[in-house]
Amino acid sequence: MTCYNRALVEHIMPAVWDAEAAYGIKGELVPDADMPRGHKDPKKGSPLFVHIADIKQAWKRTELTTVERQSLVLRYGLDYGYDEIGAHRGVKKSAAQEATDRAVGKVTAWLNGEKYIDGYDGLEDEPGE
């Protein structure tokens, strides 16, 4: 089972609406194009397309409000900035960012099979905290 975090979800979210976005997403385990390639172990392949499929399912199944869904589409589907989202919705930039952050948190929590708690980021606490 893959453990998802906010950064990974935000990185892959554009592929929910644009199938060609996957070609612009660099897999964590894939070397740069100008680097020499060595032996390839199929057991250690890139999970990129699994992540995309999971996040597409999360988009469909996560309980999101209409505002949260709009925020995700505007931010990751249309690449709007928070100021543009705020203007579109008639709210302040901070309100647009909060709705988007909450939506990403809910999607991340759903992917991890956890209950969403406001401020959820899907990261484990650092040792000693």
Tens-digit pLDDT profile for residues 53-110 = 999 999 999 999 999 999 999 999 999 999 999 999 999 999 999 999 999 999 999 9
- Per the model's pLDDT, the better-predicted residue between 30 and 114 turns out to be 114
Residue 73 lies in a domain: yes
Q: Tell me the three-class secondary structure of 25-90, residue by residue.
A: CCCCCCCCCCCCCCCCCHHHCCCHHHHHHHHHHHHHHCCCCHHHHHHHHHHHHCCCCHHHHHHHHC
Residue count (the chain): 129
The more confident residue out of 99 and 28 is: 99
In a domain, 39, yes or no: no
Asked if the structure places residue 34 within a domain, the reply is no
Buried b (16+ CB within 10 A) or exposed e, 114-127: eebeeebebeeeee
Q: What is the CATH number of the domain that holds 58?
A: 1.10.10
From the list 48, 57, 67, the residue with the least C-alpha distance to 111 is: 57
Decide if 37 is inside a domain. no
pLDDT band at 3 (very low <50, low <70, confident <90, very high): confident
Q: Does residue 38 belong to any structural domain of this protein?
A: no
Q: What is the Cβ-side half-sphere exposure of residue 106, based on CA atoms within 13 angstroms?
A: 18
Number of domains in the chain: 1
At 108-124, the pLDDT tens digits run 999 999 988 886 665 55
Q: What is the pTM of this model?
A: 0.77
Q: Is 82 part of a structural domain of the chain?
A: yes
- Asked whether residue 119 is domain-assigned, the answer is no
Domain enclosing residue 88, as ranges: 6-26+49-111
In a domain, 96, yes or no: yes
Contact 48, 22 (CB under 8 A): yes
pLDDT at 129: 39
